[in-house]
Amino acid sequence: MDNEAFNTLKRDVESMTEVEGLTMTDLLTFPDDLRLLLNWMMRENGVQIEEMASYLAQEVNEARMLLEKMIEKGLIEEIKKKEEEQYQVLVKSSRNYRVPKKIWQVIE
């Protein structure tokens, strides 16, 4: 990811309203780079800061700032796995949840 795309990604995260976890339908409405980043994190089921920096092709400090912002927005959480700090996507519970109408707008 080049610096311009990374800066756009940061702006996209900063401009988001806070959520308490992601729904898959929300994910589909996100800008491409943010959606692909979150998809990748979900598939990895937890990533370390160095892996994140490598994915973004950025310095660790830059990746850390973005992760902190994503935690603040309620998109991801920090967890401890096998004594290592990792970051994983926070998936919202679907209890009493119904797919919103916007799912159809997303795929139109």
Partner 1 sequence: MSKIISVHSFRGGTGKSNTTANLAALLALQGNRVGVVDTDVQSPGIHVLFGLDESQMAHSLNDYLYGKCAITETAVDVTSNLKVPVKGKVFLIPSSIKAGEIARVLREGYDVGLLNDGFQDLLEGLKLDFLLIDTHPGLNEETLLSIAISDALVIIMRPDQQDYQGTGVTVEIARKLGVPAMLLVVNKVPQAFDPAEVKAKVERIYNCTVAAVLPHSDEMMALASAGIFSLQYPDHPVAAKYKQLAAQLMA
DSSP 30-55: S-HHHHHHHHHHHHHTSB-HHHHHHH
Nearest approach, Cβ of residue 39 and partner 1 (Å): 5
Minimum distance of partner 1 from residue 91's CB (angstroms): 3
Residues that bind partner 1 (CB under 8 A): 21, 23-25, 27-28, 35-36, 39-40, 42-43, 45, 90-97, 99, 103, 106-107
Minimum CB distance to partner 1 smaller for 24 or for 57? 24
